[in-house]
Structure 1
Amino acid sequence: MSQSNQFSLLSQRRFAPFFWTQFLGAFNDNVFKTALLTILTYQAISWTTMDVGLLNNLIPGLFILPFVLFSATAGQLADKIEKSKLARCVKLLEIMIMLIAAAGWMTHSLWLLIAAVVGMGVHSTLFGPVKYAYLPQQLKPEELIGGNGIIEMGTFVGILLGEVLGAVLVVHRPWGVELVAGGTIAIAVIGWLTSRRIPLSPAPEPELKINWNPLTETIRNIGFSRRNRPVFLSMLGNSWFWFYGAIILAQFPVYAKNYLHGDHSVFVLLLTVFSLGIGVGSLLCERLSGHKVEIGLVPFGSIGLSVFGVDLFLASLAYTNTAPVDMSGFLAQHGSLRILFDCVMIGVFGGFYIVPLFALIQTRCDRSHLSRTIAGMNILNALFMVVAALVAMVLLKAGLSIPQLFLATAIMNALVAAYIFSLVPEFLMRFIAWLLIHTIHRVRGVDVDRIPEQGAAVLVCNHVSYVDAIVIMAASPRPIRFVMDHRIFKVPLLSWIFRTAKAIPIAPAKEDPWLMEKAYVDIAQALHEGDLVCIFPEGKLTSTGEMNEFKGGIKKIIDRSPVPVIPMALRGLWGSLLTRDSSNPLGRSFRRGPLSRLDLVVGLPIPAALATPELLREQVLGLRGDWK
């Protein structure tokens, strides 16, 4: 498996032109929107007689509206039309929209500018499904986490830089309006030029018949996604993040002014550190996940969102300054760094939360329906953001302060996360496995890419400890059904994990013939459905560190279901706390120390016809070598 740095993608044509195209789109969106909101806030009288507060809420709402109305159509177009061609068409549309906006800027026509806001919403709606469906076509599975991380980082940095540039340009004297008009056109043209370098990305379903009715297509789209439970709940989890983020970010302007007693620069500082946090968290996902789709990071991210959301509430209560301050004055105040740290960490853990969800959707979704699935998720995101605004309004109207709203949002996040993880326990199970291999052990996978990404196979491995299954699960790029001794299956705490993982308990015929036969039926069913099944053919944990003989059950399994058999070996695990080493458990744990190293080595697949217990034991022993 390639372990190259994720930033190397920025030097490759299959990724770099697409990255800069989407970056410039997010950048231009926010240059334009922020410039418009700024000019209406500070120079409203020369533009309109309408209420400024109404416009400040109306304009973001009009930008989001096309996501609700046109996402279903956009998803169909992205599945039907070759993606580089569609990207170029969308960027040409952006140039036209910015020309309309320029006319509005030069003639002081507010309605032309509002029409351009809606147009940019349409532009983003059309590009959204292309954005996330393109990556699985061009990136290898082990590059998806890194690629998604860079895309998320680029999006939030583009938003941040766009907001800063838009606010700075439009108040420049005497050419502010002209600079925004010309600058947004120039950015759109550069985006179109970069889109011309995007490589060919064939449409997955070119014969698709477009349903132009957005309502019926949205219902059909979400209905299709609901058939794949992990994907649909990942879509809901993603939309929840936008709900959480929308509530938090929407409070920053008033929070900075009324609670921190800061000027506009303090608001910009809060927004900056949050955006940088998202970028850092998104980039760290690749390192923390080991170059694979690691959904165990999702609960980790969710925990951080709640913990630092609560601490932001506590830090706000501890902040005592009441004098007006600018950015430097705020930084000098007692408690300011804690507030900024909380904002950064909310962003970092948000990155941990959202990047694996995108990667899971991309890898587990039907490829021919991926763009429409992303479009359905965009609709859910928009609806969740609208609901977030309504919830915030209701809670503030009910008398909650903004710090109390931060606390309420953190508590809601914990409740929603617990609900989602109870529906799809794989998230929590993978989190436990991820914790194990990043705290107690330091696991290195050797040739783990030999585990097939699709299709049925039987994995066989030596049996060293009570956590063998968890180590293998953490290293695998896809879920595994484990067959294990019914006594280990019943071990307290671990039993819950194994049940969650849909492990298959088995017993010797002399102990429980019914359970043994049921296990073989369940194994055959799992292989028939294309799952990976892992067994420990020794039938028991080693009590000496040496491998026991392989039982004949493996032969019975592959006789019923002739699928490839993949030998694997754990090495370096013997003598850890959860093995049957007869020496003092505390003493041996102390000798090993924290983060003790172990390897999972994966061998080449063996055809079912050749996979005898003797050959498989020889292969596993060769992979393990002398290191127990």
Structure 2
Amino acid sequence: MQKNSQFALLRQRRFAPFFWTQFLGAFNDNVFKTALLTIITYDALTWTTTDVGLLNNLIPGLFILPFLLFSATAGQLADKFEKSRLTRFVKLLEIAIMLVAAAGWLTHSLWLLVAAVVGMGLHSTLFGPVKYAYLPQQLKAEELVGGNGVIEMGTFVGILLGEVLGAVLVLHKPWGVHLVAFGTIAIAVLGWLTSRGVPLTPAPAPNLRINWNPLTETVRNIGHTRQNRTVFLSVLGNSWFWFYGAILLAQFPLYAKNYLHGDHGVFVLLLTVFSLGIGAGSLLCERLSGHKIEIGLVPFGAIGLSVFGFDLFLASLSYVNTELVGVQDFVAQKGSWRILFDCVFIGVFGGFYIVPLFALIQTRTDPAHLSRTIAGMNIMNALFMVTAALVAMVLLGMGLSIPQIFMVTALMNAVVALYIFLLVPEFLMRFFAWMLIHTLHRVEAVDADRIPEAGPAVLVCNHVSYMDALVIAAASPRPIRFVMDHRIFGIPVISWLFRAAKAIPIAPAREDAKLMAQAYDQIAAALEEGDLVCIFPEGKLTRDGEIDAFRSGVQHIVARTPVPVIPMALRGLWGSLLTRGDGNPFERSFRRGPWSRLSLSVGEPLAPAEVTPDALRRQVLALRGDWK
């Protein structure tokens, strides 16, 4: 596959049949659910006397109830059994559920349709762990972000088309109910046919003994996930996104009808622009991340979710139309384009938020336990979505308007996101690094694939500016433990960030021999745990752009813990704002202009026996060349 073409996966058997199977599943889910919500919202009296607002929040809650009850079992099944066979079984189950739903449509039985909603929730529960554990088994590491992006795009385009088709078909007089009933059966059959092309995907834990007790297995599953703090907090972050989305989407039918005074076409338009935004954001992730897992996009996405969620509240206040309008008249109303703009960008930033989180969970989880971790995530998602339905009903009961619910959700998102990112500063560090290389500089990483994706190594680089660590971190596919001067490490306010990022403070022996010994102990421990450690052997920032003599620290490190040493060179940073040259730093930066170009060049790994200060310096000089 060409590195810059995630869509090339759609031509490959290891991806395409699975993509279309999950696409049709999402499509069918939403044809059915949206048809049901639409008929309840716009034709309620012929179906039920139950409060419409209550049903609009209850039905999505019932859909996700099986995630709470059966996700633990589904995760075990996905780890124990071959995935293509399991996928085909799930698609046969979907056909059976749609037959039950058809009976509900044709007999005008609301509660039979509600039972089918629960059935489709079970279908999605069983397929969820298969869906996200399948990708790491079939895709290469560099394909994972792009593959997840295409899957998320397909899922939300499927959701979009399903919502549009469901809303349009069910109100098509006089055959709308029949079209939905038989159409969903046909889509389920088509999904089973595509599933037959999914390639063999061996079970990672075929000898796993199934624990059929969902309660004890759920507790064990979540407990196992908690052992990896970064993964567990990523799971919580993922679940929060579904809380946010569940509240927003559940309000859209009545928001369109009662606040925008639109017909069902306006409701469909809101769903359309939101889903297109999610799809666009998911696809953009690969380009913005540079074809690697870039968790710096997650805080960026969280910021956008709060900003545009809050602006949706403000935009709703400025919308003054009180007459019933269709789509054409709605877009002609003052303030309508701002509302649509907010819905699109909530979706776009939602894509930025969710795709890197999925990729992080997939790559930092034990492959033999991945399906169960995904199942644990689905349990958490279900808890958060059930809570979202309850919170929305409580807020409505307190007298809050739907725009006010948008505002409260946006503010809650800001608080929760900040809490998670403070607990895992790696997100914020990567965000700062990502912003740096997409605003102040245009960064080119040369041979960055020489930085190993697994296993210990010492990275060695020339020291040009105060932001060297951010540039290097942005180019690395995994976290790095930076060795830094103890005086910088102790700077008030930002010292907590250095500590949270597990930076290692060091001092010269003449200043603090004890701290120096502790630093070497921490470096050895980090390498033994398989981490990357980066050191700047010059021991200080350059004052003239030249590379100073290298000290013997690296040689001491690899003598104690023999690991590969990877030379690197920063090029193009000299003279920027955060360098230590003579003259006014702002004047130097102004001369360089915005978006100046810089490069990180990575050399071939050196064996420990080859490492000497002079040899390393020659390697770094050769990598840097004449470009300072």
Per the normalisation by structure 1, the TM-score is: 0.96
The answer on whether the counterparts of 1:275 and 1:347 sit within 8 Å (CA) in structure 2 is yes
What's 2:227 paired with? Answer: 227
For 1:374, give the aligned amino acid: I
Asked if 1:386 corresponds to 2:405, the answer is: no
CA contact (8 A) 2:58 2:389 kept: no
Q: CA deviation at 1:489?
A: 3.0
- Alpha carbons 2:457, 2:531 under 8 Å: kept: yes
What amino acid does structure 1 have at the position aligned with 2:155?
A: T
Q: Which moved more, 1:217-226 or 1:159-168?
A: 159-168
Matched to 2:75, the amino acid is G
Q: Which moved more, 1:32-41 or 1:222-231?
A: 32-41
Aligned position for 1:139: 139
Matched residue SS, 2:192: helix
Q: Deviations over 1:533-588 (max 9, x none)?
A: 01111112111211112111111100110111111111111111111222432222
Aligned to 1:217: 217
For residue 315 of structure 1, what is the aligned residue in structure 2?
A: 315
Kindly indicate whether residue 586 of structure 2 is the aligned counterpart of residue 586 of structure 1.
yes
How far does the alpha carbon of each residue in 1:285-333 deviate from its partner, in whole angstroms, 9 at most, with x for none? 1111111111111111111111112211211222222222222222111
Asked if residue 539 in structure 1 is aligned to residue 515 in structure 2, the reply is no
In the TM superposition, what are the counterparts of 1:565-580 in structure 2 within 5 Å?
Answer: 565-580=565-580
| Residue in 2 that maps onto 1:257 | 257
Cα deviation, residue 359, structure 1: 1.0
Question: Matched residues, percent identical?
Answer: 79
Q: Residue deviations 1:357-399, cap 9 Å, x none?
A: 1111111111111111111111111111111121122222222
Note the C-alpha offset of 1:100. 3.2
Aligned to 1:31: 31
Partner deviation per Cα, 1:43-99 (whole Å, 9 max, x = no partner): 667666777666555433332111111000000011111111111111122122223
- Counterpart of 1:457, as a letter, is A
- Deviations, residues 487-540 of structure 1 (Å, cap 9, x unaligned): 343456664543332111111111211111111011011111111001111112
Q: Is the 8 A contact 1:434 1:474 kept in 2?
A: yes
CA positional deviation for 1:177: 3.4
More deviation in 79-88 or 584-593?
584-593
1:429–1:500: 8 Å Cα contact kept in structure 2? no
1:481 match: 481
CA distance in 2, matches of 1:612, 1:371: 46
Aligned position for 2:160: 160
Q: Which residue of 2 aligns with 1:548?
A: 548
Q: Name the CA distance, whole Å, in 1 between partners of 2:44 and 2:320.
A: 34
Flag the 1:256–1:199 CA change in 2: closer, same or farther, 3 A: same
- In 1, Cα distance between equivalents of 2:464 and 2:372: 45
Between 1:105-114 and 1:92-101, the stretch displaced more is: 105-114
Q: 1:22 to 1:226 in 2, by over 3 A?
A: same
Counterparts of 2:181 and 2:112 in 1: how far apart (Å)?
13
- C-alpha deviation, 1:227, in angstroms: 0.9
Q: Partner letter of residue 446 of structure 1?
A: V
Q: Using the alignment, how far apart are the partners of 1:100 and 1:512 within structure 2?
A: 75
Given the superposition, is the C-alpha separation of residues 530 and 473 from structure 1 closer, same or farther in structure 2, using an over 3 Å criterion?
A: same
Q: Could you tell me how far apart the structure 1 residues matched to 2:19 and 2:548 are?
A: 52
Q: Which residue of 2 aligns with 1:451?
A: 451
Contact 2:56 2:250 in 1 (8 A): no
Q: Tell me the distance in 1 between the aligned counterparts of 2:399 and 2:58.
A: 24
Change (3 A) 1:109 1:25: same
State which drifts further: 211-220 or 444-453.
444-453
Alignment partners' CA distance in 1, 2:51 and 2:492: 63
User: Secondary structure at the residue paired with 1:148?
Assistant: helix
**1:441 is matched with which residue?**
441
The residue aligned with 2:520 is 520
Q: Structure 2: which amino acid aligns with 1:166?
A: G
Distance 1:373 1:102, change over 3 A: same
Alpha-carbon distance in 1 for matches of 2:454, 2:337: 48
Q: Which runs of 5+ in 2 are unaligned?
A: none
Determine if contact 2:163/2:271 at 8 Å carries over to the other structure: no
Change (3 A) 1:510 1:267: same
CA distance in 2: counterparts of 1:322 and 1:124, whole angstroms: 39
Q: 1:361 to 1:506 in 2, by over 3 A?
A: same
Where 2:509 maps in the other structure, the secondary structure is: coil
Distance in 2 (alpha carbons) for counterparts of 1:584 and 1:472 = 26
Is the contact between residue 485 and residue 506 of structure 1 (CA under 8 Å) also seen in structure 2?
Answer: yes
1:427-470 deviations in whole A, cap 9, x for unaligned? Answer: 11111111111111111111111111111111111111111111
Say whether residues 1:73 and 2:84 are aligned partners.
Answer: no
Secondary structure of the residue aligned to 1:511 is helix
Which residue matches 1:172?
172
Q: Return the offset for 1:591.
A: 1.9
105-114 or 330-339: bigger deviation: 105-114
Letter in 1 for 2:256: A
Return the alpha-carbon distance in structure 1 between the equivalents of residues 404 and 111 of structure 2: 38
Q: Secondary structure at the match of 2:534?
A: strand
C-alpha contact 1:243 1:387 (8 A) present in aligned 2: yes
2:13 aligned partner: 13
Structure 1: distance between partners of 2:114 and 2:311? 39
Q: After superposition, where does 1:223-622 map in structure 2 within 5 Å? A: 223-491=223-491, 495-622=495-622
For residue 357 of structure 2, what is the amino acid of its counterpart? L
How far apart are 1:174 and its partner, in Å?
4.3
1:200 corresponds in structure 2 to 200
In 2: Cα distance, 1:108 partner to 1:230 partner: 48
The equivalent residue for 1:64 is 64
- Distance in 2 of aligned mates of 1:52 and 1:412: 26
Measured in 2, the distance between the counterparts of 1:51 and 1:338 equals 31
Following superposition, the deviation at residue 42 of structure 1 comes to: 5.4
Following the alignment from structure 1 to structure 2, what is the Cα–Cα distance between the partners of residues 196 and 108?
A: 34
**Matched position secondary structure for 2:582:** coil
C-alpha distance in structure 2 between counterparts of 1:536 and 1:7, whole Å: 40
CA root-mean-square deviation: 2.0
Distance in 2 of aligned mates of 1:529 and 1:137: 25
1:116-160, CA deviations, whole angstroms, 9 ceiling, x for partnerless residues?
A: 322211111000001111111112222222211111111111111
Structure 1 window deviating more from structure 2 (578-587 vs 426-435): it is: 578-587
TM-score for the superposition, normalised by structure 2: 0.96
The amino acid that maps onto 2:151 is: I
Q: Is the 8 A contact 1:2 1:142 kept in 2?
A: no
Q: What is the distance in 2 between the residues matched to 1:359 and 1:493? A: 31
The separation in 1 between residues aligned to 2:615 and 2:2, in whole angstroms, is 30
Question: How many residues are matched?
Answer: 628
SS at match of 1:96: helix
Q: Is the 8 A contact 2:54 2:393 kept in 1?
A: no
Q: Which residue of 2 aligns with 1:122?
A: 122
Q: Which amino acid aligns with 1:306?
A: S
Measure, in 2, the Cα distance between the counterparts of 1:40 and 1:314: 28
Distance (whole Å) between structure 2 residues aligned to residue 438 and residue 560 of structure 1: 39
Alpha-carbon contact 2:53-2:254 (below 8 Å) kept: no
- Whole-angstrom CA distance in 2 between matches of 1:546 and 1:395: 62
Query: How many Å apart are 1:169 and its aligned residue?
Result: 2.4
Deviation, structure 1 residue 171: 3.3
- The superposition leaves residues 172-224 of structure 1 with CA deviations (integer Å, 9 ceiling, x where unpaired) of 34443333233222211221121122122211111100000101000000011
